[in-house]
Chain A
Amino acid sequence: MSRPRSDVSSAGDPMRPADHADAAEPSGDVNQPALGFVGWLRWGWRQLTSMRTALVLLLLLAIAAVPGSLVPQRSADPNGVTQYFTDNPELAPVLDNLSMFDVYTSPWFSAIYILLFVSLVGCVIPRTKHHWKALRATPPRTPARLSRLDVHRTETLEYTDDQAAAAAASASIEAAQQQLKKAGYRVARDDSRGVLSVSAERGYMRETGNLVFHASLVGVLLAVGIGGGFTYTGQTVIIEGRTWVNTMLDYTSFNPGRFVDENSLTPYALTLDRFDVTYQPRGTQGEGQAGDFVANLTTQRAGGAPGSGEVRVNHPLEMAGDRIYLMGNGYAPTLTIRDAAGEVVFSESVPFLPQDTNMTSLGVVKVPDGLDEQMGLVGFFYPTQVQRQDGAFTSAYPALTNPVVTLDVYTGDLGIDGGVPRSVYTLDTGEMDKLTGRGTDVESIEIAPGETAELPGGLGSITFENEAPDGASGYDESVKRYVSLSVHRDAAATWVLVFAVLATAGLLAALFVPRRRMWVKATPQGHTVQLEYAGLARGEDPTLDAAVEQFVQRHLASLPDG
Chain B
Amino acid sequence: MSGMTEHPELLLSAYLDDALSQGEREAVGAHLDGCERCQRQLRDLQTTSRLLGALPQLAPGRSLVPRLERAPVWLRPVRLLGAIGSGLFAFLFIASAVLNSGGSLGGGATTAEQLAEKGQFGAAVNALASDAAKARADSATAVPAPAAAAGAAASQGPGTTSAGASPTTVARAGEVPSPAAAPASVEPPRTFGPPPPLFLLIALLFAIAAFVAHRRLHQA
Task: Judge: A and B partners, yes or no.
Answer: no
Residues of B at the A interface (CB closer than 8 Å) are: none
Residues of A at the B interface (CB closer than 8 Å) are: none
